[in-house]
Amino acid sequence: MKVDTQLRTLGALKKSGYQPRSVKDELRANLIAKIRNKDVVFPGIYGFDDTVLPDVERAILSRHNILLLGLRGQAKTRIARLLIHLLDEYIPVVAGSELNDDPLDPISRWAKDLIAAKGDDTPIEWLHRDERYVEKLATPDVSIADLVGDVDPIKAANLRLPYSDERVIHFGLIPRSHRCLFVINELPDLQARIQVSLFNVLQEGDMQIRGFKLRLPLDVEFVFTANPEDYTNRGSIITPLKDRIESQITTHYPSSIEIGRKITEQEARISPEQKEKIRMPEVLKNLVEEIAFAARDSEFVDKKSGVSARLSISAFENLYSSAERRMLLNGEKTTTARITDFWGVIPALTGKVEMVYEGEQEGPHAVALNIIGAALKKVFLQYFPNPVKLKRGQERDPYGTIKAWFSAGNVVDLFTDASAKPFLAQLDAIAGLKKMAETAKADEQELHTFMELCLHGLAEFEVLSKDFIETKWVFKDFLSGNLKDDSDDDMRDLFN
């Protein structure tokens, strides 16, 4: 709705022909306009085009309050914040009103008295839609006074008013959100008695404060977010409140690597300098996303808790930073990210997964390595044949030359902070590795990346032995490496 924001009095507003409408009607009308114009309604939200977003749009068209139900890191709050762009750009309010009173339909005693006293000369001001978004994180210590309001004894004393006068009320967040979008994150964390205070607002559109015979016909669009584990199993959202929230919409994690990459590259804070000096091979970008998928499938991770999209975002940032730190240590001007740089990604994993009992027994570091290993296996198989399931009747083992080279006693040390020349020399020295990487149709720039992928992949499939010792990955023949480890254990047992 187009309005003249230069209008400054109630009389001028009336002459302009302005007609007020509810928040839900605003959202509905502006959504209809966007759909008709084929505008993007929720920019920056990927993977929900055929699932979540149509449900959100239907809820808005139905003038519903909304509950977004999903595990952590599924863009619930992002969607709620984007709804603000469906509000009118400006709305008129009575100047100085703490409840955003509509000049043509005031609800507070203060605004009504002011209009009665000044009439068409009542001053108005214009509220931008960015100021009409209110967000509250639900915590167990949130009180009814915080959300609804309470009697303010200091106000009563200053104004010399009795407690029976409604002007002594200090309004809470919900009344102050009149004509606004109000978001409550993690709704199940609100105590049951606090949830009860929302009943009338949702069903009748009004509220009472401290027994005052006061009716505030509030106009608020509510959006709640919740974790399904809290919602379905612990039952933290009380049934009458669930019944009053008209639309419940379930979110989900990205369904493909491509969608995950879009989200990660959009959200990751990578500086222009990092992008300019560090080349990030496409296969490593895919590997970052595979790590998130592997974490969600891991037997050591609690699936009910979920694995946030923030894991892959933080991992991507750490991958860039690992390569940057190595580049700075070696005095290089540019560098290419490596699989060995994923050693620096581990801190991004350990704090973002909730582990089951078995995972806690393994330890966060071991679980992180296990997740990275599972992701490496999956990416490896996209480019190379499975070394465990070679085709029947195959005349020769495609990895035979590499195996023979390691069986001859050769060992490869890939230092995490090695400069380009010695690092690439170690890969080039492995017989058959370059030829194997060429079969993956790697271009010249990414040839060594695929050589490294092949080496790590063979280690994950236990064709080779791989150990991390201080600051390097050591690759050797699997059989000789394990025999040596067993003999070392026997010697320790003998002397103990």
Contact 106, 115 (CB under 8 A): yes
- Give pLDDT, residue 230: 57
CA-nearest of 68, 65, 88, 93 to 78 is: 68
Task: Specify the DSSP class assigned to residue 355.
Answer: B
pLDDT bucket at 481, cuts 50 / 70 / 90? low
Residues in contact with 2: Cβ distance below 8 Å, sequence separation at least 6, in sequence order: none
- Digit-coded pLDDT (tens) for 296-352: 999 999 888 889 999 999 999 999 999 999 999 999 999 999 999 999 999 999 888
How many C-alpha atoms does 47 have within 13 Å on its Cβ side?
18
Q: Can you tell me whether residue 446 is helix, strand or coil?
A: helix
Query: Is residue 23 pLDDT above 90, yes or no?
Result: yes
Contact 304, 229 (CB under 8 A): yes
Lowest mean pLDDT among 42-51, 154-163, 439-448, 463-472: 154-163
Say what the pTM is: 0.87
CA-nearest of 472, 442, 218 to 343 is: 472
- Digit-coded pLDDT (tens) for 482-495: 555 544 444 445 44
- Give pLDDT, residue 263: 96
Query: Is residue 152 pLDDT above 60, yes or no?
Result: yes
Q: What is d(CA 308, CA 295) in angstroms, rounded to the nearest whole number?
A: 10
Q: Can you tell me whether residue 227 is helix, strand or coil?
A: coil
Q: What is d(CA 188, CA 135) in angstroms, rounded to the nearest whole number?
A: 15
Q: Give the mean pLDDT of the chain.
A: 89
Query: Is residue 170 pLDDT above 90, yes or no?
Result: no
- Give pLDDT, residue 495: 43
- Give pLDDT, residue 494: 41
Could you tell me the two tokens for 17?
């022909």
CA-nearest of 215, 185, 212, 190 to 200 is: 215
Helix axes 257-267, 282-297, angle to 10 degrees: 110
- Digit-coded pLDDT (tens) for 245-268: 999 999 999 999 999 999 999 999
Q: Please compute the mean of the pLDDT values over residues 223-235 and round it to a whole number.
A: 70
pLDDT bucket at 131, cuts 50 / 70 / 90? very high
Q: Please compute the mean of the pLDDT values over residues 387-396 and round it to a whole number.
A: 71
Q: What is d(CA 207, CA 211) in angstroms, rounded to the nearest whole number?
A: 10
Lowest mean pLDDT among 83-87, 233-237, 277-281, 315-319: 233-237
- Give pLDDT, residue 484: 53
Task: Specify the DSSP class assigned to residue 487.
Answer: H
Contact 72, 227 (CB under 8 A): yes
Q: What is d(CA 44, CA 50) in angstroms, rounded to the nearest whole number?
A: 15
- Give pLDDT, residue 496: 47
- Read off φ and ψ for residue 365, nearest 5 degrees: -65, -45
The residues pairing with 146 across neighbouring beta strands, listed in sequence order, are none
- Give pLDDT, residue 395: 64
Contact 433, 451 (CB under 8 A): yes
Q: Please compute the mean of the pLDDT values over residues 171-187 and round it to a whole number.
A: 92
Query: Is residue 226 pLDDT above 50, yes or no?
Result: yes
**H/E element holding 257?**
helix 257-267
CA distances from 235 to 77, 239, 248 (A): 21, 8, 15
Q: What DSSP line would sit under 138-189, residue for residue?
A: --TT--HHHHTEEE-HHHHHHHT--TTSGGGEEE-HHHHTTTEEEEEESGGG
The 10 Å Cβ neighbour count of residue 298 is 20
Q: Which of 91-105, 164-178, 298-312, 343-357 has the highest mean pLDDT?
A: 91-105
Give the Cα-Cα-Cα angle 442, 444, 450 (nearest 5 degrees): 40
- Give pLDDT, residue 13: 95
pLDDT bucket at 11, cuts 50 / 70 / 90? very high
Q: What is d(CA 50, CA 48) in angstroms, rounded to the nearest whole number?
A: 6
Q: What is d(CA 311, CA 126) in angstroms, rounded to the nearest whole number?
A: 41
- What beta strand segments (E) does 371-449 contain? 412-415
- Give pLDDT, residue 492: 45
Q: Can you tell me whether residue 22 is helix, strand or coil?
A: coil
Query: Is residue 210 pLDDT above 70, yes or no?
Result: no
Lowest mean pLDDT among 126-135, 285-294, 296-305, 486-495: 486-495
- What beta strand segments (E) does 8-65 contain? none
Give per-residue burial for 121-151: e unless 16+ CB within 10 Å, then b: ebebebbebeebbebbebeeebebbebbbbb
Residue with tokens 């029947």: 392
The 10 Å Cβ neighbour count of residue 400 is 10
Residue with tokens 């990459």: 261
Could you tell me the two tokens for 300?
């050591």
pLDDT bucket at 101, cuts 50 / 70 / 90? very high
pLDDT bucket at 178, cuts 50 / 70 / 90? very high
Q: What is d(CA 173, CA 194) in angstroms, rounded to the nearest whole number?
A: 13
pLDDT bucket at 205, cuts 50 / 70 / 90? low
